[in-house]
Amino acid sequence: MMDLIHSVAERVLEGGEITLPEAKEFIGFESWPEVLELAAQATRIRERFTGKEVDLCALVNAKAGLCPEDCKFCSQSSHWNTRISTYPLMSADQIVERAAVAKRFGAQRFCIVTATRGLSDQDLPLLCDAVRRVKEEVGIVPECSLGFLTESQLQKLKEAGMTRYNHNLETSESHFPNICTAHTYQDRLRTIKMLKANGVEACSGGILGLGESRQERLELAFALAELDVECAPINVLNPRPGTPLESKTPPDPMEVIKTIAVFRFILPRAKLELGGGREVNLRDFQAMAFLAGANSLIIGGYLTTFGRQPVHDLAMLKDLGFTV
Ligand code: SF4
């Protein structure tokens, strides 16, 4: 088995690709020695194609809750009784203030997120203003995650200074109808293709632990590779009280580490971003994710849950030899 890991790694290092049967073999590993070898080779691939640099991205939940969509993992959906605090769209001043705080604790990227099906024309001027000011006044790279959007809205955000847009596929095409019925996987795919067609970097990934099989995790990774996404966030389910997935057991640390390593084989050049759920699910194994191919991190907390203090993340990345 170690020979197979090595030969596939050499092929990827030379610019070739891992096949689906090989990825299936790897994602079936059940013991640490195999997973650690996979991680070591994923680290070689990461270093070859993306070096030792790590991206740090902070989020602001600029409009919380009351989302009309029915994503089963999400505490911001109006379909579930999750009792989170909700608020309307923040002002541009509030968003800019949050970006300044994010910059102070070390983030280089700042993503403005709203809990919506899509962007309304009414909110567009405020969000463009926020994007412009985050870039020019704060000096941090603005990104957005505002749901579905039209090509003309995308152009306006781009003119304001946005270079990357987040729109997660969330899971595989085959599993998607089990986690959301208000919109389709194809709707999401179309949005990501529109980003790429308009010269905007695509940040798209998913959540591990939504009840998908290992094969479906691979489907997600190969779909992201086909879309040629620049950044792929890998979140791990943090079951939220009141959602239909509140009783789901998330994957254990070995499963997450192994999945990150396999994603690195499939997406050798992308930023693999460790996102929500990492503290509760990886616990003492968070650093291990960066020794398995991850090279981007969401810091300073998530949309409806807290994260650990950025100072701990910065120390961890320094100890691992990454440069920010
Ligand atoms: S994941 Fe996004 S689209 Fe789905 S319910 Fe939550 S906020 Fe709405």
DSSP state at residue 285 = G
What is the count of structural domains for the chain?
A: 1
Residue 222 in domain: yes
| CATH number of the domain enclosing 226 | 3.20.20.70
Atom of ligand 1 nearest to the CA of 114: 7
Amino acid 318: pLDDT: 92
Cα separation, 219 vs 199, in Å, equals 25
Centroid of ligand 1 to alpha carbon of 213 (angstroms):
22
- Whether 236 has a pLDDT exceeding 90, the answer reads yes
Average pLDDT over residues 68-78: 93
Which tens digit of pLDDT belongs to each residue from 157-173? 999 999 999 999 999 99
Residue 324: band (very low, low, confident or very high) from pLDDT cuts 50, 70, 90: confident
**Residue bearing tokens 């200074």:** 161
Give percent above pLDDT 90 in the chain. 86
The reply to whether ligand 1 has any atom less than 6 angstroms from the CB of 210 is: no
- Give the model's confidence band at 304: pLDDT under 50 very low, under 70 low, under 90 confident, else very high: low
pLDDT at 306 > cutoff 70 = no
- Please state, rounded to an integer, the average pLDDT across all residues of the chain: 94
Asked whether residue 169 is domain-assigned, the answer is: yes
Which residues contact residue 162 at a Cβ distance below 8 angstroms, ignoring those fewer than 6 apart?
131, 142, 143, 144, 200
Per-residue pLDDT of 247-288, as tens digits, reads 999 999 999 999 999 999 999 999 999 988 888 899 989 999
CA of 15 to the centre of ligand 1 (A): 36
Does the C-beta of 77 come closer than 6 Å to ligand 1? Answer: yes
Q: Is 324 part of any domain?
A: no
Pairing of strands 231-236, 206-208: parallel
234 within some domain: yes
Give the tokens for residue 262: 């396999």
- How far apart CA 29 and CA 258 sit, in angstroms, is 8
Place of tokens 């460790």: 274
pLDDT at 105: 86
Task: Quote the ligand 1 centre to 73 CA distance (angstroms).
Answer: 9
- What is the reported pLDDT for 37? 96
Q: State residue 303's pLDDT score.
A: 64
Ligand 1: does its nearest atom lie under 6 Å from the Cβ of 303? no
The answer to whether 50 and 269 are in contact (CB under 8 A) is yes
Ligand 1 atom nearest to 74, measured from its CA: 6
Q: How far is the CA of 180 from the centre of ligand 1 (A)?
A: 9
Nearest CA residue ID for atom 4, ligand 1:
71
Residue nearest to atom 2 of ligand 1 (CA): 115
Report CA(265)–ligand 1 centroid distance (Å).
29
- Does the CB atom of residue 69 touch ligand 1 within 6 A? yes
User: Is residue 278 in a domain?
Assistant: yes
CA of 117 to the centre of ligand 1 (A): 7
> Which residue range(s) make up the domain with 291?
2-319
Least confident of 4-8, 138-142, 278-282: 278-282
Does residue 93 lie in a domain region? yes
Residue 34 included in any domain = yes
Residue 178 lies in a domain: yes
